[in-house]
Each structure stands twice: as C-alpha cells, then as structure tokens.
Chain A
Amino acid sequence: DTAVSQTPKYLVTQMGNDKSIKCEQNLGHDTMYWYKQDSKKFLKIMFSYNNKELIINETVPNRFSPKSPDKAHLNLHINSLELGDSAVYFCASSNRDWKNIQYFGAGTRLSVL
C-alpha cells in the first residue's frame, strides 16, 4: 500500500486556470506538507499543516492554498495559474511535527502553458 499518494501524477493546464492536487496519507500521521521542486531540483517547503496550525512559507503566493478535509488528506488549490508555477509538487507527512522524518508522495508534475 502506498503510504502517501498524490493525484494526478501529471497536470497540464493553461495560464489563468484554477487547479487542485490531491494528497492522502495512510500512515496515521499528524502533520502534512506541500513542497515545490523547481527545474533545478531545489526543494522548498510551501505549507505545513496539522489540526492545530497552518504554517505558510512567506514566499508562497496567496494563489496557493491548502485544504484539509480530514487528518489524512491535504489538497493543494492553485488559483490563476502562472507560467512560473510549473514545477513538481510533492506532498509529505510526518508524525507529530515537521522536525520528524517526512514521508513523501511521488509528486505531481504541473505544466502551465
């Protein structure tokens, strides 16, 4: 069974559209994350979320928003997509908080045309 799963694996869309990426973890972890990996493989955290707090990297545009329907899911919504949003987005989870080992999904490659 896949511990952290993301859908879709690939997402191609036009500038200006709104899209979502889904993430689910079956590890029973408390905290989930979204990361962005650019073309140079630089991996940067975007959000950290548990039922107590949402931590946002201040460099993330407010067009990006995480939505958590329950503890096992953290979806990423992106409004008004821009060319610069093209990247691979990874979902991850960890027990307790961000200082613990993180388990990553396989990634979603987003291409904005």
Chain B
Amino acid sequence: LAKTTQPISMDSYEGQEVNITCSHNNIATNDYITWYQQFPSQGPRFIIQGYKTKVTNEVASLFIPADRKSSTLSLPRVSLSDTAVYYCLVVPLAGTASKLTFGTGTRLQVTL
C-alpha cells in the first residue's frame, strides 16, 4: 500500500491560493489519488480525485506529475471557511479495504 506524506500544517491568508503537496513514492500503476477535507467535529468530505495530469472541479484542482509520485491539491482564493484538515489518500484498485488509511493530514489555517 502506498504510504502518503503531507506537511503537518500550513498557514494562509484569505484570498491566497494554497497548494498542499502529498508524497506517495511507491504508488502502484493502478492506484489513484483522492483528497478529503475535514472540518472540526465533522467527518471527512470528498474534494477531488485523479489518476494523472490535472483534474479540476468547482472546489479545487489536483495536479499529478507524470511519475505520479506526488500530487498537489490547489485551493484557489481560500477563505476562512477553508480552514480544515486535508487528507491525501491513495486508493489501490488491488488489495482490500483493510489497508485504507487516511494518514494524519495537513491542517490548513486561514486568517484575515
């Protein structure tokens, strides 16, 4: 199972673009990358998912280089309400659910 490494925390000012990078050096060929967001006292919520290159939705963009050993979640023009923990998750198409682990995530703090 691909282990992920993310910065423990990041700080940003409101209105800035925030990029959170996740390292997954031993990602397998058929694995894909998923990001979740967790607000205090809530469960994680799906943000975006991708396999390679770039994926964009109404919330964020996900950049995955050709070697797929890392991925970057990009949040455009963050607001105070984007303060949360962001989890990078490598989802393997092979294996079992018992190996699914979210890791410790990146705590993003947005201030004025």
Contact = CB atoms under 8 A, between A and B. Distances in A.
Interface of A: 4, 33, 35, 40-45, 48, 55-58, 90, 92, 97-99, 101-107
A101 B103 contact: no
A106 B102 contact: no
A104 B37 CA distance: 11
Interface residues of B, number: 23
A104 B104 contact: no
Report whether over half of chain B's contact residues are helix, strand or loop; otherwise say mixed: mixed
B100 A40 contact: no
B97 A45 contact: yes
B98 A48 contact: yes
B100 A45 contact: yes
Give the 10 A-B CB pairs with smallest separation, nearest first.
Answer: A104-B43, A48-B97, A98-B97, A43-B102, A57-B98, A45-B100, A101-B46, A55-B97, A90-B43, A104-B44
A72 B103 CA distance: 27
B98 A42 contact: no
A108 B24 CA distance: 30
Contacts of B97: 33, 45, 48, 55, 97-98
Contacts of B99: 45
A107 B87 contact: no
B43 A41 contact: no
Contacts of B101: 42-45
